[in-house]
Chain A
Amino acid sequence: MTIKIYSFIFVMWILMLIGGGLMVVVVGPITFGIDVEPIITSGVKVFLALFLIFIWIFTLTKVKNWIFKSQIKS
């Protein structure tokens, strides 16, 4: 069982590295030109960041169900 928990921690770590990369590469540089209010750009970034968090949690739930299948069913 402990091996499965170590694996889950490792998967979470990898997902955090990937999520961070997406934040820096995709979300961070987003701009809509100088005539667009900065608050709109920030709003879009917040929405995308929340979407990434949603994807992160969804993926983690799937991984959790896969790793701990037998324990969760019991």
Chain B
Amino acid sequence: MEEKIIAAIIVSAIAFFSIYAFTPILIKFLQKRNLTVKDANKTGNIMIPRPGGISILIGIVASEITLYFFFPISEILAVIITSILGFSVGIIDDKKTMGGWFKPATLAFCAAPILLLGAYDSNLYFPLFGSVKIPSLYLALVVFMIPITGNTINSIDVLNGIVSGFITIASFALAISLFILQNYEIGISCLCLAFASLAFYKYHKFPSRIFPGDSGAVMFGATYGTIAIVGGVEVIAAIAILPAIINSFLFLSSVKKIVEHREIKNPTSHTDDFKLKSTDDNHAPITLVRLLVAKKPLSEKHICNEILKLATFSGILAIITAFMMGAKIL
């Protein structure tokens, strides 16, 4: 146990401080090369460096590789490779906007390391009722899980600090759940993601100094999905990101097709004092942010706080679910 505690402290520190130290350098580098985009929710012409995914990649990969030296298991190797692949898909999308099907299709291939390394257990565990063995269905679940988490997390990257704050809360909840279930190695692996996103949140929170871009957001989602699979906590992981799932669900049920988010009408517009309000356009999709501002316009910071509160609520539900995993009613 002592070795696991030492490993947890070392890799968490690497994940946090590598991003904390490297991101300001990246910000200056991106500004110098004019790799910036307009912050659409601010008055004036405020340009923000993008993509911050490079910094997130360094933090996650460095800490996970260190963890692999402590525990050389295929599950951690799968997390490292899938994270790099997720980043690669995102950076292509950052450089050149691809069609709506590009990310889901390419992210499906990112699940290959999990399958090739055999880093999964085909039993699907549910709270209160136990597990079900579904080998064929589980293979499909692995292939679908990474595109789903990658896109779901990417779809909430709409305002300053949401995606990094959200994944921080969700991955801390998932890490606690993994510790409750005594899956310590993968729990520590999840701590790497949690501390990496926490360090990035420092620069991404309102008002943002850097945007993660698709490379950062997709990698957050792909890493999270991989940890869920290799840790055998798919259901708990889905519960921890329920607000993001609701966002995707509301979006898909209103748009009724998979499209790149830059291709759709903006579901919100601005008031004179630059608060966000629901758009009057009935054809614009319904999203979580649009629901939050449906009654009255809210500031960007207020909306971020509301979404992070929703993330905390689902994180608590995820931890309760982890406790329920141990109990069986049948």
In the complex formed, the residue of A with least CB distance to B282 is A74
Task: Give chain A interface residues in 29-70, CB to chain B under 8 Å.
Answer: 39, 42-43, 45-46, 49, 60-61, 64, 68
Residue B288 is within 8 A (CB to CB) of chain A in the complex: yes
Determine if B238 and A16 form an interchain contact, defined as CB atoms under 8 angstroms apart.
yes
- Residues of A near B306 (CB, < 8 A) are 2
| Complex Cα–Cα for A20 and B235 (A) | 9
Residue B314 is within 8 A (CB to CB) of chain A in the complex: yes
Interface band, chain B = 35 or more
Residue B30 is within 8 A (CB to CB) of chain A in the complex: no
- Residues of B near A49 (CB, < 8 A) are 134, 137
**Which among A16, A64, A71 is the interface contact of B235 at CB below 8 angstroms?**
A16
| Complex Cα–Cα for A72 and B135 (A) | 40
| Complex Cα–Cα for A8 and B309 (A) | 14
Determine if B242 and A9 form an interchain contact, defined as CB atoms under 8 angstroms apart.
yes
Rounded to whole Å, the gap between the CB of B148 and the closest CB of chain A is: 12
Determine if A28 and B317 form an interchain contact, defined as CB atoms under 8 angstroms apart.
no
Rounded to whole Å, the gap between the CB of A26 and the closest CB of chain B is: 10
| Complex Cα–Cα for A9 and B313 (A) | 9
Given contacts A13-B242, A16-B235, contact A60 B130 (CB under 8 A): no
Residue B62 is within 8 A (CB to CB) of chain A in the complex: no
B 232-265 binary contact with A (CB < 8 Å = 1; else 0): 0001001100110110011001000000000000
Among the 9-residue stretches B105-113, B187-195, B289-297, the one with 4 or more Cβ atoms under 8 Å from chain A is B289-297
**Can you give 25 contacting A-B residue pairs, CB < 8 Å?**
A1-B292, A1-B295, A2-B292, A2-B310, A4-B291, A5-B246, A5-B310, A9-B313, A9-B314, A9-B317, A12-B242, A13-B317, A16-B235, A17-B321, A20-B126, A23-B126, A23-B132, A24-B330, A25-B330, A28-B134, A42-B137, A46-B136, A46-B140, A64-B249, A74-B278
Q: Known contacts A4-B291, A12-B246, A17-B127; can you find 14 more A-B pairs with CB under 8 A?
A: A1-B295, A2-B309, A5-B288, A12-B242, A13-B242, A20-B128, A23-B132, A24-B126, A24-B129, A27-B132, A42-B136, A49-B137, A64-B250, A74-B278
Residues of B within 8 A of A (CB): 124, 126-137, 140, 235, 238-239, 242-243, 245-246, 249-250, 253, 278, 286, 288, 291-292, 294-295, 306, 309-310, 313-314, 317, 321, 324, 330
